[in-house]
Amino acid sequence: MRLLQLFVLSFLYFSNAVYGYLDIGFAQRHMDKDGVVMVKKNNYRDFANGIDGYYGLVMFTVGNTDNRGGTCEICEFFTETLRNVAKSLKEKVPDAKIITYVVDIEENFQVVEDLKLTFVPHVYLFEPPVNKAFDWRSAPYVAYELSIEESRNEIAFVDFLSANTDLELSPVRNNVISVSMSIDEQRSIAVPVTKSEDVAKKQAAAVKASDKPAKKQAAAKKQDSAEKKQAAAEKKQATAAKKDTTSSKAKKAKKSKAPKKKSVSKFSTEKVGEPSVGEPVQPSVKPVEKRETLQQQQQQQQQQQYQQAPPQYEQAPPQEYQQAPPQYQQQPPQDPGVQYRQVADENGNSGGVQVSFTNQVFKPMTWSELLWEVAEYLKTIGVAIAVFFVFDKFLLVLGN
């Protein structure tokens, strides 16, 4: 009976130690060269319980593209900022009790349901766990306000960490400033190489710009001279036409003054209403005014037709189309925390990617994942048995 009690107690203690706090060694085994822990699906629950005595700096992001093929620019920009700061923490303050995590929702979509995320990226700073019930789902945190303009501002991010932790991060800030200054110096060195070329291009452009007004003035002068020549030619033509008309009128007047000789015949060839041989012919006038008035009437009729819309467009649609269906008008009540998070997502994360949780995303567990889970449980049981035998041996030694 005593052995059974010891076995049960040791198993419960060890299982609580495994599924409660994790030590820093577990996190260090999963860190990359920049000191960032890439959280996977199989260790998400472990890291969500926190590391004893360490702050948790967590970035929830998405991969290179979303489901619609669009890129998340702010995710890419701030991931680089996060990695640079984490690298400075690892190099300048290796004893700082803070761990940097990156959670990709494409590989860990369960986090979308756990934290009720509607938008990524998010950056949360969790305090060190105070008890073994610590979990990212319910633990308090401080959110870093992200924007596309400040996504590359590493100094502002370090200041945020310094203001919300009790860590001494001045070496990290100085390192970030020196790195940014060296980058600016490299850019300033690269500028004079192309400065002369830029000056030459600007001078050439200025010369071209100065030549443009002179060319415009010459073209304007040419155009004025051509217009003057054309006006003089038109005047000559008008004077010639006037001379022709005056000479024709004089000839007609002489003819009218001459005596008219008319041959008398039994059968007259003149028709009623027609002018005689010697009388001037009057030009016929066509009814142009009537044609213009007809066109105006047609235009007015067309305008009236366009102004008066058909009755089917004037009438409003039936009431059943004006009122939306009930399922679109009424929305189910939501948790206040979820509403606050959604408002923060929509207002504070421009340039991110919108996400939503659906059960269809989860697929049945594969054989490899099932074997991994079984192996984890078997490992826990094996270690518990080993602890039991060691403890039992220790009790026997004490009894003797």
What is the residue-level pLDDT of the chain in tens, covering all 400 positions?
A: 455 555 555 555 444 444 445 778 888 899 999 999 999 888 888 899 899 899 999 999 987 554 555 578 888 899 999 999 999 999 999 999 999 999 998 888 888 888 888 888 999 999 999 888 888 988 999 999 988 888 899 999 999 999 999 999 999 999 888 887 766 555 555 444 444 455 556 666 665 665 566 666 667 767 777 777 777 788 777 777 776 666 666 666 655 555 554 444 444 444 444 444 455 545 444 444 444 566 677 777 777 765 665 554 445 545 444 444 444 444 444 444 444 344 444 444 455 666 654 444 444 556 777 787 788 888 889 888 888 888 888 877 877 6
pTM: 0.48
The pair of structure tokens assigned to 332 is: 């189910």
The pLDDT value given to residue 269: 44
Whether 79 contacts 61, CB under 8 Å = yes
Residue 82 confidence (pLDDT): 94
Spatial CB neighbours of 56, under 8 Å, sequence gap ≥ 6? 47, 50, 98, 99, 101, 124, 125, 126, 136
Instruction: For each of the domains in the chain, give its residue range(s) and CATH number, in order of start.
Output: 1-19+365-400 (no CATH), 31-186+338-362 (3.40.30.10)
pLDDT, position 162: 93
pLDDT of residue 374: 84
Burial status of residue 235 (CB atoms within 10 A of its CB: 0-12, 13-18, 19 or more): exposed
Burial of 353 (0-12, 13-18, 19+ CB in 10 A): buried
Q: What pLDDT sits at residue 42?
A: 86
The tokens for 113 are 């349901």
Residue 118 is predicted with a pLDDT of: 85
Q: Which of 144, 145, 148 is nearest to 71 (CA)?
A: 148
Rounded Cα distance between 98 and 55, Å, is 4
